[in-house]
C-alpha cells in the first residue's frame, strides 16, 4: 500500500488508490444530515401519534360498549350513590379549577 501523502505527482507515477480516495472524499455525504434526521423523526412521530390515537379510540369504544352492556345491572347501585358523589365531584372540580395557576383568583 502506498503512502496517502504521495499524490499523482510522485516519482512512481499516479497512484490509483489515492485518486479514488480523493474522488470519494469530494462526493462524500455530510457526517450528520440534520434535514434527513428531522424528516425521519417527524415521520416516526406521526406514525406513533396515529397509532396512539387509534389505540385510544379502540379502548374508548370498547369501554363504551362494556358500560352500555352492564349499565342495566349497575343502575340500581349507581343511582343512590350519585346523590352523594355528584356534589362532591362538583366541589372538587371547582377547587381544582380555582387552584390552577392560570385561573387562580386567590
Q: 28 vs 52, which has greater pLDDT?
A: 52
Q: 23 vs 33, which has greater pLDDT?
A: 33
* C-beta of residue 19 within 8 angstroms of C-beta of residue 13: no
pLDDT class of 49 with cuts at 50, 70, 90: very high
Residues 61 and 93 in one domain: yes
For the segment 78-106, the average pLDDT, to the nearest whole number, is 83
Query: pTM to 2 decimals?
Result: 0.48
pLDDT tens for each residue of 51-79: 999 999 999 999 999 999 999 999 898 88
Residues 38 and 87 in one domain: yes
Residues 37 and 79 in one domain: yes
Distance in angstroms (rounded) separating the CA atoms of residues 18 and 12: 13
Residues 19 and 40 in one domain: no
Q: Which domain holds residue 21?
A: 1-31
Residues in the chain: 106
For the chain, state the CA radius of gyration. Answer: 34
Nearest to 18 by CA among 36, 35, 6: 6
Distance in angstroms (rounded) separating the CA atoms of residues 44 and 50: 10
Query: Into how many domains does the chain fold?
Result: 2
Amino acid at each position: 500500500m502506498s503512502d496517502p501523502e504521495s499524490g499523482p505527482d510522485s516519482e512512481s507515477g499516479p497512484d490509483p488508490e489515492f485518486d479514488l480516495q480523493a474522488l470519494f472524499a469530494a462526493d462524500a455525504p455530510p457526517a450528520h444530515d440534520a434535514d434527513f434526521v428531522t424528516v425521519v423523526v417527524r415521520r416516526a412521530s406521526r406514525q406513533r401519534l396515529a397509532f396512539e390515537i387509534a389505540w385510544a379510540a379502540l379502548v374508548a369504544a370498547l369501554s363504551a360498549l362494556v358500560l352500555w352492556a352492564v349499565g342495566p345491572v349497575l343502575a340500581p347501585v349507581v343511582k343512590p350513590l350519585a346523590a352523594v358523589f355528584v356534589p362532591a365531584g362538583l366541589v372538587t372540580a371547582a377547587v381544582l379549577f380555582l387552584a390552577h395557576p392560570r385561573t387562580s383568583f386567590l
